[in-house]
Every structure is written in C-alpha cells, then in structure tokens.
Amino acid sequence: MEEETEEESTLKTERKVKKAAQLLFFRRHRIPGVKGWELKKALGDDYMEVIGVLNSALDKLGMEVKRISEEGGIGEGGEEKTERDRFMIVLKNHLVEKASGERIDEVAMLSATLAYIISKQGKAPRKAIEEFLSDKFPKHRIFFALDRYIKQGYLGEDERVLYIGWRTRAEVDRKSLLDLILAS
C-alpha cells in the first residue's frame, strides 16, 4: 500500500477541520452542537485530534469548542463517554457589546434564578424560586420568564423542581457568576 504524503495528510486534515466547523456551526438538531458519536461518524476515529486543530483556529477568533456531558459539567473521561458528550462552539471571552435582545430586567431575573439554584446545589422547587423572585418582580411576569428560560434550555424542570439546564452548562461560567454577584 502506498504511503500517504505529508501534503496529502495536510489536505485530509484541512478537509476534516472544515467539515467539523460546518457540523458545529450549523444547527442540525433542536439543541445546537453535535454529539461525539456524530463527529466520530463524520470525521473518523481521530475526531478529537481534528477538534483540537479546529480549536486552535477558533482561538484566534476568540471562540472555542466546548464539550458538555449529559450528566452535567464539563465533559471529560473515557472514549465511550466522549461519544455521548455534546460538542458546541462558544465565545471564549465575555462580550463587551450587547449581544442579546432580552430586556435588562429579564436578564436580571435569569441571573438571580441561576445564582439561587446554584447556591442550592443545582436544584430548587419552582415555588420557592417564584416566591424569591416575586420580591422584585410581578408574579405573572415571573411565570412567563421561567417558562421561557426552560424553553431556551437555561433551566430544566422535573416535577415542579427547577434545575440548571444544558444551555447554562454550555454558556455560563457558573463560578464566575457567583463570584461576580458576591463581589457586587
């Protein structure tokens, strides 16, 4: 069998990196990003190396590939687990300019809800959160806002208990949020 030349190998890697970028930038499912097994299927067994090369290119643009485990937290671990994890591209540094159409009071509500839930070890009864928020916001707005955060993936709900959703795990640096709130 003929050995692959260096040039061929570089071209192959470039092709794979482009494919990985397309897979990660463009939405294929309801939730953005792709699972490890999808990347493996599209890019081959060395998909983690391809992601590494893509990450170096994204770094120059202030972006990075983030790996989120289904169980919560930042993904790491064995190959089987890697295939179950979700990969998505996020901004590496926080935004300087406005990048959301949400009203300031709605972002405040989300921020307070997340901090409240994180301080309660990741979950809290919906009623307790509604009571807590009603100190500053009218109840009818709280109901709509919480439902919207659930729909957007920032929160999850199971039998009237709210927990941190997949989107918060992907987008929010929870430690930094708590530190900033405590330091305010």
Partner 1 sequence: MKTDDLFRLINFCKTIQEEGTDPFDLDVKKFLETLKHYLKKWKRIDDLLLDAEAMSELAKIIELQGKWIRDRSSSFYIDPVLMELKLKMLEPVQLADAFFKSWHPIISMDRITAKRLKEGLDYWNALLPFSERKEEFPLPSTSETFTFDIADLIDLNILSRAEFEDSIKAVLNDLEERGRIEYHDFIYDDEYENSVEKAYLTSYLVSEGKAEFDIDPLEEEVFISPCNAKANTGDVRSIAISLSYEDWLRWKRKQKRNQR
b vs e for 84-117, b when ≥16 Cβ sit within 10 Å of the residue's Cβ? ebbbbbeeeeeeeeeeeeeeeebeebbebbbbeb
Per DSSP bridges, beta strands 86-91 and 34-35 are antiparallel
Q: Which is nearer to partner 1, 6 or 30 (CB)?
A: 30
User: What's the rounded Cα separation, in Å, for the pair 170 and 184?
Assistant: 24
CB 83 within 8 A of CB 60: no
Q: Which residues bind partner 1 (CB under 8 A)?
A: 25-27, 32-33, 63, 66, 88-95, 99-100, 104-105, 107-112, 114-116, 118-121, 132, 134-136, 138-141, 167, 170-178, 180-182, 184
Give the residue among 151, 67, 162, 71 at the shortest CA–CA distance from 114: 162
Q: Which is nearer to partner 1, 11 or 73 (CB)?
A: 73
Give the burial class of 54: count Cβ atoms within 10 A of its Cβ; 0-12 exposed, 13-18 middle, 19 or more buried: buried
First-last CA distance in the chain? 65
| Structure tokens, 36 | 């490890």
Residue recorded with tokens 């959703």: 165
